[in-house]
Amino acid sequence: MAWNALATSIEGRRDDLLAALRRLAPFRPGGYRNVVVAEVDDPAALLPRVRDALAADARLAGALAKLVPLALHVRFEAPTASATFAAAAEPLLDRLAGKSFFVRLERRGMKGRLHTPTVEREVGDAVWRALEARGHAPRVAFRDPDVVLVIETLGDQAGIGVLDRATRTAFPFVKVR
């Protein structure tokens, strides 16, 4: 089942997070400890609703570790994960053009089959080459980049999105490690 919003709870507070977020969107358990997911019409529109709910709901404030809006959902296999993620990110390249960026993978599952730093580097290299092919001069920045290409995995499924600085600043619960 597809998802385009992923939230994590503070350790042991997933049920509280799930109960609080279900008032805002159709969240369900993500299959991993402390992870919930939802498919919503507009993931970006969910963010102000969560911000408002955090101010009014102590249960949510005490349970939410992070929430990430995602643009697309893909299935992948470990041996071809980097290529799959890079190809899936193609429609998002315009949001990276002319901006500093880095790729961040938050992997759940595939232990011993996916090496996070390797996948981040391979996807970043592919995005770099694709941006150059479009006539842009890519810039990588790990400290306060303009945008972050995020990949959140749950087993053999991934959500991919672009988080810009304005979103990360306006919504402190939208976190990238």
Which whole number is the average pLDDT over 86-108? Answer: 97
Position 125 scores a pLDDT of: 97
| pLDDT tens profile 31-53 | 999 999 999 999 999 999 999 99
Q: Are 34 and 14 in contact (CB under 8 A)?
A: yes
Enter the CATH code of domain 72-168. 3.30.2130.30
Position 144 scores a pLDDT of: 93
Amino acid identity at 2 = A
Residue 1: pLDDT band (50, 70, 90) is confident
Kindly give, in sequence order, each residue whose CB lies less than 8 Å from that of residue 22, ignoring residues fewer than 6 positions away: none
C-alpha of 64 from chain center: 15
String of DSSP letters for 43-59: HHHHHHHHHHHHHH-HH
Distances, alpha carbon 113 to alpha carbons 69, 107, 116, 151, in Å: 26, 11, 10, 16
Position 177 scores a pLDDT of: 83
Average pLDDT, the chain: 96
Position 142 scores a pLDDT of: 94
pTM: 0.95
- Phi/psi of residue 68, nearest 5 degrees: -125, 120
Position 100 scores a pLDDT of: 97
Q: How many residues does the chain have?
A: 177
Tell me the percentage of the chain whose pLDDT exceeds 70: 100
**Distance (Å, rounded) from C-alpha 155 to C-alpha 111?**
9
Q: Write out the residue limits of the CATH 3.30.2130.30 domain(s) in the chain.
A: 72-168
The angle, 0 to 180 degrees and rounded to 10, between the axes of the packed helices 116-133 and 81-88 is: 40
Which whole number is the average pLDDT over 68-94? Answer: 97
Position 85 scores a pLDDT of: 98
Tell me the percentage of the chain whose pLDDT exceeds 90: 99
| pLDDT tens profile 56-73 | 999 999 999 999 999 999
